[in-house]
Amino acid sequence: MSKKKEELQKFEEDLIKSIYEDFELRREERLSIERQWKLNLNYVAGNQYCEIAPDGSVKEEEKYYGWQSRSVFNHISPIIDVRLAKLSRVRPSMSVRASSSDDGDIKTAILASDVLSATSQRISLDKTITNATGWSEVCGTVFYKITWNDKKGKQLGEIEGVPVFEGDVEVSVVPPFEIFPDNLFAQDVKDLKSIIHARAVDVSDVKECYGEDVVGTSIDVFSLTENKLSYNGGYTQKKISSELKNHVLLIEKYEKPSENYPNGRYIAVAGGKLLHYGELPYINGASGTRDFPFVKQVSTSQIGAFFGVSIVERLIPIQRAYNAVKNRKYEFLNRVSMGVLNVEDGSVDTDELIDEGLSPGKVIVYRQGARPPQIMSSSSVPIDFSYEEERLSNEFITISGTSEVSRTSDLQRSTLSGTAIELLIEQDETRLSVSTESIKHAVKETGKQIIRLFKQFATDERLMRSSGEGKEVRMIYFKASDLSSDDVVFDTENEITKTPAQKKTAVLEMLSTGLLSDDKGNLSLRTKSKLLEVLGYGSLSNVQDIVNLHRSKAEKENAELTLNDAPVDGYDDHEVHIEEHLRKLLTIMPSDDSSYKKRLENHVNEHKKLTYKAKIEDSINIQE
């Protein structure tokens, strides 16, 4: 073996060793946080008699007595269901803001918005957000991984029998169990110098992606180790996760650009083999830099901590106390209903009495001269049980921020007024504002990385289907050079503050007060169409398809007038066209092209002339 090969082999061995040592160190540092995540998952699933044992593992506590009641009265799961239902409304509509008021920048911003919208629909981004929010609500933190897959998209052809695809963006959900930061006190991903993504991967996937054969084994999907049952000091380890067979631990380490590595480093190791060594693969940072392909989302952030906090963690002590109170209460009721026998020693067959109990009509034979068995008197259930149960129920509301109105929807026995109930709902939604903002921030950062990946990899022209205003489906052509802006903004308000019912009520109130009518008290056709969509009857707007077509034609004329004059057709609905053109005129900035404004004004005047001409002809026909 040559000296150069020996040096290369020594470098690879040292690199693999350093990656595994770094991973083990980070796993040990994060172990206490990981145990809390496992405990949260157990409590949400209803396994609420487990605890973090003295040795640090999550184990199930044994009963003190065999007769003890161990029922679970799960309040945590419905609280999480309510929070997820409210957070499911946070699906902001994204667009890209132009870098300047120039026509070229405006056009590229519109194109980037269409690409972002079409991609979000194609990869089912809403479903991904829903899945990620479930993880963040239970464990406190979740991550989005935005990557480029060369084997997705349309097939362009074949090279030596191997199919070639145009590639597409992938957005996957990464549970917190798989992320190992270099600094547990950093506030965000951008504050890290390196991050490790470790997960269990099928050996066939490793072969397909990296071209290496590795030996598979059984790996726990959460702890990334083998999961074994043990017994220690009254605790039985609870196996809360499944093992995947014929899998291997894939460790991907991402290092930020530095002085020694200007483009950063990406290292992949599995089965003791170096699968990949190179620079960071994606130009997904601001100003054309390379960065981590991860975006963090939390339920509630912690000051000075990388991982967020789940509401489950705060509810666990209350849930334990609630289960204890309810079980002791039922044990007391069992004593009252079934009774406790007082038996003189040797007077009866106690084994028979223990096995069969006191069934109705049972004949008890006792020794002559002995005292017959008697049921010990017991008082009623102490009122303290009910007081404590009610207090703990109120604590669930206080800690979780979800009132009984949200959890049970039971208003029949409520003595609250309508205004008070609305205030309760508003307070519930306010408590979710932190989680809402985290979701919106994560979605915005994900949108930026999606555009940047298309800008990096979509070098050839590609065709994409997009839906525009008025449910119009159109095809867009673009390439990387067309995506000059990635300043993603939101087009919608905070969805969590207004439910669909509240929005409909607000629209009907504005309609009744005449705020949406013109000076003559009439509603324009455009307003009617929009109202039907807001009220949830968008399909009825098909009745006004001809109006939507005129509006769409006017919008195309607005775009055409940026370069050339657009003809005015006699069959146009001039009122609709004038309204759309005036809306465009009012949005033109003083610094914009004056010739475009002049062409637009002339076009509007042509519509007005034809409108005036049509009115004169109508009046002449009426006189005749």
Residue 190 DSSP class: G
Tokens of 219: 């790996």
289 and 365 in one domain?
A: no
pLDDT confidence of residue 374: 67
Contact 535, 519 (CB under 8 A): no
Q: Is 64 found in the same domain as 162?
A: yes
Domain encompassing residue 353: 343-377
- pTM attached to this predicted model: 0.75
pLDDT for 5 equals 84
Q: Does a structural domain hold residue 426? A: no
Q: What string of DSSP letters covers 409-469?
A: ---TT----HHHHHHHHHHHHHHTHHHHHHHHHHHHHHHHHHHHHHHHH--S-EEEEEE-G
d(CA 201, CA 195): 18
Residues 53 and 162 in one domain: yes
- φ/ψ of residue 614, rounded to 5: -65, -35
Of 267, 285, 309, the domain-final residue = 309
- Domain assignment present for residue 538? The answer is yes
pLDDT of residue 609: 86
Give pLDDT, residue 185.
Answer: 93
**Which residue among 377, 400, 431 closes a domain?**
377
Q: Other CB atoms closer than 10 Å to residue 140's CB: what's the count?
A: 25
Cβ distance 281 to 161 under 8 Å? no
Q: Are 548 and 580 in contact (CB under 8 A)?
A: no
Task: Flag whether 422 is in a domain.
Answer: no
Is position 20 within any domain?
A: yes
- Average pLDDT of adjacent 10-residue blocks, the chain of 624 residues: 82 93 94 91 89 76 71 89 86 75 69 85 91 94 95 84 88 95 94 95 90 86 57 42 81 94 95 93 90 94 92 92 87 69 69 64 70 66 81 85 59 53 60 86 92 88 66 67 76 56 71 73 69 62 64 81 82 85 77 75 88 74 62
One domain for residues 163 and 305? yes
Q: Write b or e for each residue in 441-450: b if 16 or more Cβ atoms lie within 10 A of its Cβ, otherwise e.
A: ebbbbbbbbb
Strands (E), 443-579: 462-467, 473-478, 488-490
Cα radius of gyration rounded to whole Å, the chain = 34
Position 264 in a domain = yes
How many structural domains is the chain composed of?
Answer: 3
Rounded CA-CA distance 594/561 in Å is 12
Chosen domain end from 359, 377, 395: 377
Q: Give the C-alpha separation, 524 to 578, whole Å.
A: 12
Instruction: Please indicate, yes or no, whether residues 261 and 159 belong to a single structural domain of this protein.
Output: yes
Measured distance CA(292)–CA(264) in Å, rounded: 9
Are 56 and 185 members of one domain?
Answer: yes
β-sheet bridge partners, residue 489: 95
What pLDDT does residue 361 have?
A: 59
Same domain, 305 and 349: no
Distance between CA atoms of 16 and 285, rounded to whole angstroms?
A: 28
Dihedral (CA of 399, 400, 403, 407) sign: negative
**pLDDT confidence of residue 29:** 93
Inside any domain, residue 361: yes
518 inside domain: yes
Are 304 and 347 found together in one domain?
no
Own/partner pairs, 208-217, CB within 8 angstroms, 24+ separation: 210/268, 210/270, 210/275, 210/276, 212/270, 212/271, 212/273, 212/275, 214/248, 214/270, 214/271, 214/272, 214/273, 215/248, 215/271, 216/245, 216/246, 216/247, 216/248, 217/245, 217/246, 217/247, 217/248
* Nearest-angstrom CA–CA distance, 132 and 308: 14
Q: In what order do the strands lie in the sheet with 168-174?
A: 168-174, 141-149, 294-298
Tell whether 368 and 505 lie within a shared domain: no
Identify the pLDDT of residue 24: 94
State the number of CA atoms in the 13 A half-sphere of 408 facing the CB: 10
- Could you give the C-alpha distances from 269 to 20, 274, 594, in angstroms and in order? 8, 5, 60
**pLDDT attached to residue 173:** 96
Residues 235 and 152 placed together within one structural domain of the fold:
yes
Residues 266, 357 share a domain: no
Query: 64 and 134 share a domain?
Result: yes
Q: What pLDDT score was predicted for residue 211?
A: 86
Instruction: Tell me if 80 sits within 8 A of 44, measured CB to CB.
Output: yes
362 located within any domain: yes
